[in-house]
C-alpha cells in the first residue's frame, strides 16, 4: 500500500493529530523509576549500595540468578544520533587494559556477594562491543564466567555494528553461550545516514544477519529509529521493507531523542528544522507499526516488536515481560550489576551509576573501590510507584485495589487520569487502569501521571526528550 494511503488512514483517526499536539511534551522513557534526574544523592552512599546489593543477592541468587550489563565504550567514529557514553578512538590497544579493569570490578562484586553468583543474563552494550577483537571478547567473558555458575535458560546478548561484526565475532560469542545479537540499522536512506554519520549499506546488514542465523543464533534483532534528521515516511517505508526481507526475530523501533543540550556536540550537527515535526514523527511511527504488523510482528511494548517465535513475544504472552536500563527484556532478575564506565546497576532497592570518565573509572577500580558516580536508594513510596510504572510499561495496565499498592497522591493521580479517560486513551474501573489500543503510543504520558517526584518538582530546564 502506498505511503500516501497510510498517511490518509493515520490522519483520518478521530482527533489523533490533536492528541499528538496535546501530549507531545518532554517526558522520561522510564527505564527506571525514579528517573536518573530525580535520584536522591543525599540518602545514597557506597555502603548503602553495597547493603542493597547483598540483600538482593541473598534473596534472589539461588532462585532466579543475576543479570550483568557490561559497557564497552569504544567506537571508531561518532554517530551523531547516539546518546550513549562513548570514547571515540581508532587505537585498539585500549582493549586489554579496559578488560583488565572490568574484571577487577567484577572481582569486587564477587567478593561482596560472599557466594558464587548464578548468571541468568548478560548484555554487552556500548559504544561498539564489536570494536573489541573476538579474542579479547573471549578473554573478557572467560574472566567473567570462571567466577560464576550459568543459570538454566540463560540469555546472553550483544550489540553488533554491521560494518565491523565478523564471522569470528559471531562464532566466538556463540561458543561462549550467546544466542541473541542486535544490529543497529537506524535507516537505510543515504541522506539520513550521512546526517547521523552512520553510513552502512544494506548488504552489510544482510551479511551479518544471515551469518548469525547460519551459526545458530535464536534471536537476531534490528534497531530502527524514526524522527531522524531529514527522514521522511518514504524513508521509513523503505527501511522497514528491507528489514522485513531479512526477517529479524525482533525489532526495536525507537523514537529519536533529540537532546543536544545534554548529549553534546554530536546532536548539534543539525538544526531543529532538519527534524520531522511531531505530526510527521507520529505518521512515521504509525506507518512503521502498520508495516511491521503486516509482516507478522507483534507490538510488544512502547518501541519493541517481535515474531511469535521470539522469546520476547513469549514473555509478553506469559506476563513475564520486564523493563530496565536495557529496555524491554524477556528475562527478569531482581539484581542487575552494571560493569564498566557509566554503566548502571539495579538492586531493586537501589540504583547506582558508575563514573562517566574513563580515566577516573580505571583509577577507582585499580584502587580497589567500586567506581560509583551517583545513585539512589528507593523509599517505600518509590517501590510502590515503580511497580505501577513497570505494570503500565510491560502489561499496559495496573491496579491499586490492595493497600500495599496505594500512595497518598492517588487523588491527584486520579484527576490526571480522568483527562486520559476522556481522550479514550485508558479505561478505569474498580481502581484498575487499562491502556487502550489508542492509548499505547501515549504510554509515557500515562506513566507520568504516577510519577510523583516529577509532579512535585517540575524541572526548570528540559531534561527529557519529547514523548512523541
Task: Output the known binding site for [4Fe-4S] cluster.
Answer: 75, 79, 82
User: Which H or E element spans position 282?
Assistant: helix 278-294
Q: Annotated binding site for S-adenosyl-L-methionine, which residues?
A: 69, 81-83, 126-128, 159, 186, 198, 223, 257, 344
* Residues 6 or more apart in contact with residue 42 via CB below 8 angstroms: none
Among all chains, which residue has been given the C-alpha cell 522510564?
Answer: 30
Spatial contact of 466 and 25, defined as CB atoms under 8 Å apart: yes
Coil, strand, or helix at residue 150?
strand
| Cis-peptide, bond into residue 127, ω within 30° of zero | yes
CA distances to 64, 109, 137, 202, 325 from 154, in Å: 10, 20, 19, 31, 18
The alpha carbon of residue 460 and the mean position of all alpha carbons in its chain are separated, in whole angstroms, by: 26
- Euclidean distance between CA atoms 74 and 96, whole angstroms: 12
Apex CA 122: angle with CA 387 and CA 362, to 5°? 100
Phi, psi of 54 (to 5 degrees): -60, -40
Residues near 219 by Cβ (< 8 Å), separated by ≥ 6? 157, 179, 180, 181, 249, 250, 310, 311, 312
* Ranges assigned E (strand) in 161-244: 178-186, 219-226
Nearest alpha carbon to residue 448 among 38, 41, 26: 26
Q: What three-state secondary structure class fits 188? A: coil
Q: With beta carbons less than 8 A apart as the criterion, state whether 144 and 122 touch.
A: yes
Say if CB 78 and CB 381 are below 8 A apart. Answer: no
- Which residues are annotated as part of the binding site? 69, 75, 79, 81-83, 126-128, 159, 186, 198, 223, 257, 344
The DSSP bridge pattern shows strands 298-299 and 344-346 to be unpaired
Q: Angle 178-182-186 (CA atoms, 0-180°, nearest 5)?
A: 170
C-alpha cell recorded at residue 424: 479514550
Amino acid at each position: 500500500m502506498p505511503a500516501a494511503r497510510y498517511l490518509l488512514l493515520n490522519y483520518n483517526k478521530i482527533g489523533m493529530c490533536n492528541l499528538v499536539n496535546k501530549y507531545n511534551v518532554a517526558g522520561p522513557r522510564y527505564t527506571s523509576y525514579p528517573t536518573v534526574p530525580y535520584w536522591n544523592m543525599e540518602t545514597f552512599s557506597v555502603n548503602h549500595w553495597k547493603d542493597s546489593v547483598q540483600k538482593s543477592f541473598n534473596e534472589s541468587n539461588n532462585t532466579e540468578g543475576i543479570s550483568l550489563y557490561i559497557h564497552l565504550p569504544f567506537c571508531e567514529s561518532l554517530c551523531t544520533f547516539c546518546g550513549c557514553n562513548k570514547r571515540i578512538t581508532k587505537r585498539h590497544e585500549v582493549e586489554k587494559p579496559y578488560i583488565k579493569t572490568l574484571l577487577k570490578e567484577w572481582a569486587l562484586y564477587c567478593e561482596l556477594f560472599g557466594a558464587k553468583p548464578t548468571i541468568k543474563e548478560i548484555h554487552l552494550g556500548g559504544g561498539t562491543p564489536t570494536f573489541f577483537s573476538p579474542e579479547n571478547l573471549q578473554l573478557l567473558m572467560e574472566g567473567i564466567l570462571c567466577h560464576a555458575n550459568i543459570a538454566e535458560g540463560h540469555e546472553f546478548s550483544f550489540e553488533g555494528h554491521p560494518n565491523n561484526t565478523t564471522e569470528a565475532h559471531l562464532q566466538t560469542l556463540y561458543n561462549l553461550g550467546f544466542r541473541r545479537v542486535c544490529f543497529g540499522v537506524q535507516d537505510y536512506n543515504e541522506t539520513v545516514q550521512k546526517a547521523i554519520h552512520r553510513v552502512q549499506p544494506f548488504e552489510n546488514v544482510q551479511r551479518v544477519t544471515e551469518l548469525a542465523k547460519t551459526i545458530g543464533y535464536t534471536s537476531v534483532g534490528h534497531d530502527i529509529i524514526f524522527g531522524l534528521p531529514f527522514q521522511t515516511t518514504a524513508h521509513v517505508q523503505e527501511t522497514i521493507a528491507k528489514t522485513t526481507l531479512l526477517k529479524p526475530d525482533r525489532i526495536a523501533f525507537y523514537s529519536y531523542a533529540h537532546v543536544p543540550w545534554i548529549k553534546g556536540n554530536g546532536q548539534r550537527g543539525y538544526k531543529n528544522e532538519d527534524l520531522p515535526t511531531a505530526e510527521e514523527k507520529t505518521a512515521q511511527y504509525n506507518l512503521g507499526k502498520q508495516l511491521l504488523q503486516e509482516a507478522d510482528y507483534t507490538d510488544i511494548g512502547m518501541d519493541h516488536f517481535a515474531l511469535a517465535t521470539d522469546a520476547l513475544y513469549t514473555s509478553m504472552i506469559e506476563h513475564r515481560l520486564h523493563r530496565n536500563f536495557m529496555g524491554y527484556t524477556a528475562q527478569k532478575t531482581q539484581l542487575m550489576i552494571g560493569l564498566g564506565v557509566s554503566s548502571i546497576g539495579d538492586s531493586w532497592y537501589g540504583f547506582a551509576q558508575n563514573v562517566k570518565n574513563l580515566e577516573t573509572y580505571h583509577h577507582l577500580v585499580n584502587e580497589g573501590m567500586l567506581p560509583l558516580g551517583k545513585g539512589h536508594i528507593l523509599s517505600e513510596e518509590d517501590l510502590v510507584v515503580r511497580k505501577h510504572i513497570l505494570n503500565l510499561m510491560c502489561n499496559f495496565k495496573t491496579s491499586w485495589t490492595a493497600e500495599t499498592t496505594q500512595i497518598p497522591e492517588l487523588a491527584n493521580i486520579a484527576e490526571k487520569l480522568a483527562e486520559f479517560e476522556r481522550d479514550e486513551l485508558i479505561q478505569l474501573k474498580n481502581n484498575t487502569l487499562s491502556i487502550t489500543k489508542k492509548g499505547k503510543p501515549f504510554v509515557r504520558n500515562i506513566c507520568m501521571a504516577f510519577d510523583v517526584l516529577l509532579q512535585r518538582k517540575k524541572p526548570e530546564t528540559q531534561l527529557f526528550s519529547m514523548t512523541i
